[in-house]
Amino acid sequence: MSKNIIVSNRLPVQIVLENEKLAVFPSVGGLATGMKSVHADGDGIWIGWSGLEETQLTQKNKENVEKALLKEKCIPVPLTQDNIDDFYLGFSNKTLWPLFHYFTEYTSFENSQWLSYKEVNEKFAKVVLDNSEDGDTIWIHDYQLLLLPELVKEHRPNSKIGFFLHIPYPSFEIFRIFPWREQLLKGMLGADLIGFHTYDYERHFLSSVKRILRLEVNFNQIIYDDRVIKVDSFPMGIDYDKFYNASKLKNENTQAEKSDLQIRLEEHHKSASGTKLILSIDRLDYTKGIPNRIKAFEYFLNQYPEYKEKVRLIMLAVPSRSNVPQYKRLKRETDELVGRINGKFSTVNWTPIWYFYRSFPFENLIDLYTSSDVALITPLRDGMNLVAKEYVATRTNQDGVLILSEMAGASKEMNEAIIINPNNFEQFSNAIKQALEMSEEEQNSRMKILQKRLKRYNVEKWASEFMKSLSNTNKNQKTVQATFFSKNEKENEIKKFKKAKNRLILLDYDGTLSSFKDNPKEASPDNELYELLDKISSQKNTTLSLISGRDKETFHNWFPNKKYTLITDHGVWLKKPEQEWEELAILKNEWMESILPVLENFADNTPGTFVEKKEYSLAWHYRKADPELAETRTLEVNTVLSSLIANHDLSILNGNKVIEIKNSSVNKGKASTHLLINTDYDYILAIGDDYTDEFMFEELPDYATTIKVGFQKTKAKYYIKDTEKVRAFLIELF
Ligand SMILES: O=P(O)(O)OC[C@H]1O[C@H](O[C@H]2O[C@H](CO)[C@@H](O)[C@H](O)[C@H]2O)[C@H](O)[C@@H](O)[C@@H]1O
Ligand SMILES: O=c1ccn([C@@H]2O[C@H](COP(=O)(O)OP(=O)(O)O)[C@@H](O)[C@H]2O)c(=O)[nH]1
Ligand SMILES: [Mg+2]
């Protein structure tokens, strides 16, 4: 039976060891709180870090920790102090976290920490491999484990691997700064499905994949070797019923059952009628915009002094990553700001800010959510922000107002909140006023819509949508319908080849025998290739022909006096050994006059592209262009050309990073059948890599062995990875 495995840096529970005694606490942070309910229901396991330092543990403690975690269906990945310093506090939280949240000035790039990041990802991989079988479904989470999908995929090719990023994915201009960007992207591409909270993060990721790895992206699918990787957005929800029911239940509490916090909150309301509470809850993190929020609150009090003594900001900041210097500084700054503002505005009856620096148990969170008239959630950047959603879920009377930063992923689905730019203090302070003065009807109507969506798209739905999408990836996993040669098939092929009495070998050039260069002129044959071709053509009963879209002059210079046939310009020219060039088709080329300037215009407007003028065709090459610009331009080129070529018997070939306009009546299919006239071959082998070679695959007789280089869709029977493998295969044959 295959099982489901969740992997994240932090487990949903944290173990604390004090005086040899184990205590188990729930983890804070959106990932742990969100996924916990998903995990609780299933029968899978969760792999992650227990929060302990590995060398602290005696053998006995280690066993006890494992036992305690196993009860929670968790398996620990042990981290040493060095791992915690360099991988967790270091690379994860001093490099990836600030960079992905657009805090470039906080981002450090330390090679030693990168090495540690790789080492710990390998450590996680080992635990995953030790606890899984090929075929299990593995769901990996977040920025601490970006390399893990690739490490696991290598050993679990038949497992479906999902990856979800809980934080923002930054725009290409930010991501490109990162020194190890290729490795990170390739690490993520080990997954079969990659999920983000919002479409914007997804779009940024795809843009990096296109520009940095230069991979083909079709809508939201990435073609990577022979795999298709799906990318999609899944906005994470919360356990709606848990928050809703807890707050419903709370309404029924008798005075004696109330928490101390609840009693104090009620006292606040009683102390002066009409006073209101504004709530803010976050981990103490610079991305959450806490100092900014305090300053904006001060701005509000100055702008609308009538609210002094009438409103109170209750601010919960949960300690987080406190060994990272920026977090230490933030703590100091927050303390000072709260002190200054309370000092400035407080009266005998009123302190404007109630500030807590600790974490609260669930019951107290509910007290805070249900007692606050306004929730002020104003991060500078936030992947999602679940607190905003939790606040909404607890408002069982459908009152209360949410003010939400447009920089939080949650803002994309929570339109009925008051959405603000947290850097605009004017807007900030007006939003507070608007929230405090909002009519009950308006509160209700906004809340209703918000609640409806959160209830429907809850965390369970989120997880099941992700899993459903992950299980569907299987169907379109392979990019090509053709197959690799199996060992048996290859042996048969060699036998067939050896037995044959008259053999024809048709080889395309670029992308088949020689790999692509930025400038096509540089892709000239090397000595190894000359030797290989000479060897093939010197065999008995063997006709070798190169069949290419290249122009005749180039091939004439590259392959003078050779013992093999040359077919150029997609089949316009043919040269047999020791014979003159013959023209297979008599073609006109006057059309070029009108089309050349159009293509040149595109070349001028699209940096990195150029026009190649051949005798009978024109080719616009865009290999070096920015891939996203090229995507738009190729569409434009195709549209413009389609109208120009009408009535000219011309066709547009969309090749590998090239668009070529040529006469419709010539193609490699016709040229290759020309070679079959008057000769009986009992063995035909054709290898080619691009769209233009498909004509050849199509027109050759059924018994021909046709091979596609690369992983695009094809009519060929087999495929092979790249030019190197083609050469190796030919060496094996001959
Ligand atoms: O594990 P820590 O270093 O203590 O940090 C706590 C978690 O913070 C981050 O949460 C993110 O995930 C939330 C749910 O998807 C999302 O709402 C929020 O915007 C994110 O910041 C982090 O991604 C987790 O890995 C941490 O465990
Ligand atoms: O004292 C606290 C304060 C908050 N939270 C939880 O921490 C999570 C914070 O997640 P969010 O997505 O808002 O931000 P993150 O901390 O993940 O960046 C929410 O589920 C809160 O309920 C908690 O468990 N204890
Ligand atoms: Mg080719």
List Cβ neighbours of 146 (8 Å cut-off, separation of 6 or more).
96, 121, 184, 187, 188
Could you give the CA distance from residue 723 to residue 507 in angstroms, rounded to a whole number? Answer: 11
250 Cα: distance to centroid of ligand 2 (angstroms): 20
Residues 42 and 171 in one domain: yes
The two structure tokens encoding residue 395 = 């408002």
**Most distant CA atoms of the chain, gap in Å:** 109
List the beta bridge partners of residue 621.
Answer: 610, 658
Mean pLDDT of 434-458: 98
Question: Across residues 691-716, what is the average pLDDT?
Answer: 93
Q: What's the pLDDT tens digit per position in 165-194?
A: 999 999 999 999 999 999 999 999 999 999
Q: Identify whether residues 655 and 671 lie together within a single domain.
A: no
Task: Quote the tokens at residue 346.
Answer: 């407080």
Ligand nearest to the CA of 658: 3
* 377 and 447 housed in the same domain: yes
Q: Which CATH number belongs to the domain containing residue 522 in this structure?
A: 3.40.50.1000
Q: Pull the structure tokens for residue 503.
A: 């053999």
The per-residue DSSP string of 52-78 comes to: SBGGG--HHHHHHHHHHHHHTTEEE--
- Give the end of a domain, one of 635, 662, 689: 662
> Does residue 318 have its Cβ closer than 6 Å to ligand 2?
yes
Pocket test for ligand 2, best of 281, 327, 462 (most atoms within 8 A of CB): 281
Ligand nearest to the CA of 316: 2
Strand pairing of 683-688 and 401-405? unpaired
pLDDT digits (tens, 9 = 90+) for 231-262: 999 999 999 999 999 999 998 888 888 999 99
pLDDT digits (tens, 9 = 90+) for 558-597: 999 999 999 999 999 999 999 999 999 888 888 999 999 9
Give the tokens for residue 516.
């692509």
**pLDDT grade, residue 112 (50/70/90)?**
very high
Counting atoms of ligand 1 from 1, which one is nearest the CA of 385? 17
Is 16 within a domain?
A: no
Compute the radius of gyration of the chain from its Cα atoms. Answer: 33
Residue 57 domain-assigned (yes or no): no
**Amino acid identity, residue 240?**
Y
Separation in Å, CA 191 to CA 242, 527, 725 = 32, 40, 25
Of 199, 233, 267, the residue at which a domain comes to its end is 233
Rounded to 5°, the CA angle 102-104-107 comes to: 120
Q: Establish whether residue 385 lines the binding site of ligand 2, counting it when its CB lies within 6 angstroms of any ligand atom.
A: yes
Residue 431 falls within a domain, yes or no? yes
Q: How far is the CA of 31 from the centre of ligand 1 (A)?
A: 5
Flag whether pLDDT at 409 surpasses 60.
Answer: yes
Is the CB of 365 inside a 6 Å radius of any atom of ligand 2? Answer: yes
Same domain, yes or no, for 421 and 565?
no
Q: Which atom of ligand 2 is nearest to the CA of 167?
A: 18
CATH of the domain at 99: 3.40.50.2000
Instruction: Tell me, yes or no, whether 122 lies in a domain.
Output: yes
Rounded mean pLDDT, 326-345? 98
Helix or strand or coil: residue 686? strand
Instruction: Kindly state whether residues 426 and 334 are assigned to the same domain.
Output: yes
Give the closest residue (by CA) to ligand 1 atom 1: 10
How far apart, in whole angstroms, are the C-alpha atoms of residue 202 and residue 161?
18
**Best residue for ligand 1 mutational test, from 31, 163, 384 (most atoms within 8 Å of Cβ):** 31
Report which ligand 2 atom has the smallest distance to the Cα of 287.
18
CA-CA distance, 711 to 730, in Å (whole number)? 19
Whole-number Å distance between alpha carbons of 374 and 379: 16
Question: Are 244 and 319 in the same domain?
Answer: yes
pLDDT digits (tens, 9 = 90+) for 16-55: 988 888 899 888 777 887 787 778 777 789 999 999 998 8
CA 690–ligand 3 middle distance (angstroms):
5
The atom of ligand 1 lying closest to the CA of 386 is: 17
pLDDT, residue 508, reads: 98
Q: Does 508 qualify as catalytic in the annotation?
A: yes
Helices 723-733/527-537 angle, 10° precision: 40
What local confidence, expressed as pLDDT, does residue 226 receive?
Answer: 80
Domain count, the chain: 4
CB of 368 sitting under 6 A from ligand 2: no
The CA distances from residue 87 to 84, 144, 187, 646, in Å, are: 6, 8, 16, 61
Phi, psi of 267 (to 5 degrees): -60, -40
Q: What's the gap in Å between 625 CA and the centre of ligand 3?
A: 19
Ligand 2 atom showing the smallest separation from residue 390 Cα: 22
> Measuring from atom 21 of ligand 2, which residue has the nearest CA?
387
Average pLDDT over residues 124-142: 96
Place of tokens 């991988």: 87
Residues 420 and 357 in one domain: yes
Give the model's pLDDT for residue 552: 95
Question: What contacts 132, CB < 8 A, 6 or more positions away?
Answer: 3, 5, 138, 156, 159
Of 86, 136, 367, 508, the active-site residue reads 508
Instruction: Name the domain boundary from 662, 691, 718.
Output: 662
Lowest mean pLDDT segment, chosen from 407-411, 488-492, 569-573, 579-583? 488-492
Shared-domain flag, residues 441 and 357: yes
Examine the domain organization and report whether 46 and 90 are in the same domain.
yes
Host domain of residue 552: 483-585+666-733
Orientation angle between helical segments 240-251 and 440-456, nearest 10 degrees: 130
Atom of ligand 2 nearest to the CA of 283: 16
CA of 691 relative to ligand 3 center, distance in Å: 8
Q: Which of 680, 645, 676 is nearest to 659 (CA)?
A: 645
Give the number of C-alpha atoms closer than 13 A to the C-alpha of residue 697, restricted to the C-beta side.
21
**What is the value of ipTM here, to two decimals?**
0.91
Asked if residue 463 belongs to a domain, the reply is no
Same domain for 681 and 658, yes or no, is: no
Cβ 28 under 6 angstroms from ligand 2: yes
Q: Residue 167 CA: which ligand is closest?
A: 1
155 in any annotated domain: yes
Three-state SS for 398? coil
CA of 275 to the centre of ligand 2 (A): 27
In this structure, the residues whose C-beta lies within 6 A of any atom of ligand 1 are 9-10, 29-32, 34, 142, 166-167, 236, 320-321, 382-386
478 in a domain, yes or no? no
> How many Cα atoms sit within 13 Å of 492 on the Cβ side?
6
- The pLDDT score that the predictor gives to residue 481 is 62
CA angle at residue 108 from 106 to 113, to 5 degrees? Answer: 140
Average pLDDT (311-329) is 96
166 near 459, Cβ under 8 Å?
no
Identify whether 18 is part of a domain. Answer: no
**Contact, 609 vs 624, CB < 8 A?**
yes
What is the model's pTM?
A: 0.86
Q: Which residues of 614-682 form beta strands (DSSP E)?
A: 617-621, 650-655, 658-663
Atom of ligand 2 nearest to the CA of 377: 13
Q: Return the DSSP state at 251.
A: H
Going by alpha carbons, the residue nearest to atom 24 of ligand 1 is 31
Percent of the chain with pLDDT over 90: 81
pLDDT at 475: 55
> Do residues 622 and 579 share a domain?
no
CA of 462 relative to ligand 2 center, distance in Å: 18
Question: Which residue has the CA at smallest separation from atom 5 of ligand 2?
Answer: 28
pLDDT in tens, 62-104: 999 999 999 999 999 999 999 999 999 999 999 999 999 999 9
At residue 656, the pLDDT reads 87
Q: Could you tell me the CATH number of the domain that includes residue 647?
A: 3.30.70.1020
Whether the per-residue pLDDT at 474 is higher than 70: the answer is: no
Ligand 2 centroid, distance to 305 Cα (angstroms):
32
Q: Among 190-204, 382-396, 430-444, 698-712, name the one with the lowest average pLDDT.
A: 698-712
pLDDT tens for each residue of 614-665: 888 999 999 999 999 999 999 999 999 998 888 788 999 988 899 999 998 8
Residue 479: pLDDT band by 50, 70, 90 thresholds? low
The arrangement of strands across the sheet holding 221-224 comes to 74-76, 45-49, 4-10, 137-141, 160-164, 193-196, 227-233, 221-224, 216-218
pLDDT band at 480 (very low <50, low <70, confident <90, very high): low
Say if residue 251 is in the same domain as residue 188.
no
Q: What is the mean pLDDT of the chain?
A: 94
Supply the pLDDT for residue 290: 98
Q: Could you tell me where the DSSP H helices lie in 502-626?
A: 527-537, 552-558, 592-605
Q: Which two tokens stand for residue 178?
A: 């990162």
pLDDT band of residue 682 (cuts 50, 70, 90) is very high
CA of 34 to the centre of ligand 2 (A): 9
**What's residue 27's pLDDT?**
87
* Nearest CA residue ID for atom 23, ligand 1: 166
- What is the Cα–Cα distance from 24 to 26, expressed in whole angstroms? 7
How many degrees, rounded to 5, is the angle at CA 294 between CA 439 and CA 334?
Answer: 150
